[in-house]
Structure 1
Amino acid sequence: MATEIKGGTPLPKQILKMKSFPPYPEATPPLEMVDLPAGLPAPVARYYQVTCGEQVPVIESAVITGRGRLRFRGLTFTSRFRFTHNAGRDYRHYIETTLLGYPIMKVNEYYLDGQGRMELPFGVIEGEPKIDMAANLGLWGESIWLPSIFITHPRVHWETIDDTTAHLVVPFGDQEDIFTVTFDPQTGLLQTMFTMRYREADDEEKIPWHIEAQGWDTFHGLIIPTPMAATWMDEGKPWAVFTLEDVAYNVDVSEYIRASGL
């Protein structure tokens, strides 16, 4: 049996002033379940037993909707977002931001077929290998909301470090990337995911990048982190905090993931 977890942290008042996107119109179908495999590192096995039970769902896609805060060039914006995932392969981010209640930006970001593309108000960034590498790590970092993919994907595996830490090895083309993942020794829940990631297309070196679970809630029987904070460690505080409000799994995203806007 999965441990019962209380609802996620309430949204700050300034975020509540920004209207949510509507839920994705297609409903989550019944999810196929598979047994939790043997041989996982001890903290990883405990994490899945707490959040899923002895079986995990096979997740092929996800549409994740919510609100949050984004910090850009020293300013903090309230935002609403929709993240669409072809699990373990592609994503599209659609984000709208406001500042002091005024609409500021609409952003479409893509990672499709191994290529990153960012459509920003001040221009388009694409064809940049370091952005592709960063986007792939973003894909796998956000897969914390599709947690069973870390079990079911054929090219993902876990490596033991100690009783509260493990390496998560994920694919990048024909290569691999690694996250160091920590787990709470009391609850068994995932605490952080850490890796080295490029921030800009012209960065000479990768920068420590950190994801932190700040709360937990249950969607379709899965206990997943919300809010989730992302931090460039040279800045010392989160540049993004995402709070989930709706999740749809295993819906058709074949056209939606290549669209733009809501």
Structure 2
Amino acid sequence: MPWLPWFVSTACALVLALVGITAFGQRRWAARVLALQRTLEAGRVDAGPAATALPTRYDARELDGLPAPVQRYFRTVLKDGQPIITAAWIDTEGRFSLSPTAAQWKPFAARQRVITRRPGFLWDARISMLPGVTVRVVDSYIAGRGLLRAAVQGLFSMAALQGDGEVARGEFMRWFAEAAWYPTALLPSQGTQWQAVDDRSARATAADGPIRLTLLFSFNDAGLISAFRAEARGAMVGRQMVMAPWEGSWSNYQAHDGVMVPCTGEVAWMRDGARRPYFVGAVTALKFECSP
């Protein structure tokens, strides 16, 4: 078999090339994420003069006048005197579909940095496509601007979307929907406005700069947030920004530092009359930073 030495040497060269590309891509990606994180942290106001106008502790008296399901929720997940959560690290694992129109599930692991004053987050994920082939995804809302970037091995771009307008609005909407992970951000004293719908749901409105949006939150028998929904959120389908209903569900609540938070969740688009989930994940680690 005279071809065997050639085959072995070619295979070794390809493996070495892949290893080198992967290592280079990881370093380059890590540098980009670090730069984004620095910008995110620079936008925090919880340590500056602007923070003095906001309470540093949850006071149950601020619930007076809120819709009944919202009052039940805060009394369930928070204890009176709970320090306000100003930042968090959230690690998640699960399945993610990169296709906007079909279920193409792949395993992922992600680390997310969140700040609540001013609102912002940075989601850094690894999605395993094939053995040795990983798509790196960063999703963020930083200083009023949105960013979504995906690259094979952290090098070869699959998607790049950033800016204000609907891009920023969609990313701020994600931050707001995920506030069940850092529930003091949903308090009226932190800027969230609540409007009654019925005994199991209420609308919440948040604003950051020129962006103002409203989500519908639903609550279960235990008084916990079980779902959220927006009637329109923008997403890129091909080269076009498409508006569609967007919703998610929360479950498996557990106590972290005395705060009840959901540890599993699912997020979906509503397209062509069908519900199309694209994220199913579980929290593997959660660490809060709170006001002093």
- Aligned equivalent of 2:129: 99
**Which one scores higher on RCO, CA 8 angstroms, separation ≥ 6?**
1
The structure with more radius of gyration: 2
Q: State the distance in 2 between where 1:97 and 1:190 align.
A: 28
- Aligned equivalent of 1:213: 250
- Aligned equivalent of 1:109: 139
**Is contact 1:131-1:200 (8 Å) kept?**
no
**Is contact 1:191-1:212 (8 Å) kept?**
yes
Q: State the distance in 1 between where 2:142 and 2:165 align.
A: 13
Equivalent pairs, count: 220
- Aligned equivalent of 1:260: none
Is the partner of 2:177 in helix, strand or coil? helix
CA RMSD of aligned residues (A): 2.2
- Aligned equivalent of 1:27: none
- Aligned equivalent of 2:11: none
Q: What stretches of structure 2 of length at least 5 have no aligned partner? A: 1-55, 152-156
Q: State the distance in 2 between where 1:94 and 1:251 align.
A: 22
Match of 2:226 among 160, 177, 191: 191
Q: State the distance in 2 between where 1:86 and 1:99 align.
A: 30
TM-score, normalised to structure 2's length?
0.69
Q: Does 1:45 align with 2:71?
A: yes
Q: Does 1:147 align with 2:183?
A: yes
Q: State the distance in 1 between where 2:240 and 2:129 align.
A: 28
Q: Does 1:64 align with 2:99?
A: no
**Is contact 1:68-1:79 (8 Å) kept?**
yes
Is the partner of 2:277 in helix, strand or coil? coil
Q: State the distance in 2 between where 1:131 and 1:117 align.
A: 7
- Aligned equivalent of 1:131: 167
For residues 75 and 175 of structure 1, do their structure 2 counterparts lie closer, same or farther at Cα, with a shift above 3 Å needed? closer
Structure with greater helix share of residues:
2
- Pairwise CA distance, 1:232: 0.4
- Pairwise CA distance, 1:128: 5.4
**Is contact 1:58-1:152 (8 Å) kept?**
no
**Is contact 2:269-2:278 (8 Å) kept?**
yes
TM-score, normalised to structure 1's length?
0.77
For residues 35 and 251 of structure 1, do their structure 2 counterparts lie closer, same or farther at Cα, with a shift above 3 Å needed? closer
**Is contact 1:130-1:200 (8 Å) kept?**
no
Q: What stretches of structure 1 of length at least 5 have no aligned partner? A: 1-31, 253-262
- Post-superposition CA distance 1:204-261 (Å, at most 9, x none): 6521110201321221111111211111022514200121111111179xxxxxxxxx
Q: State the distance in 2 between where 1:152 and 1:80 align.
A: 33
**Is contact 1:48-1:54 (8 Å) kept?**
no
**Is contact 1:91-1:111 (8 Å) kept?**
yes
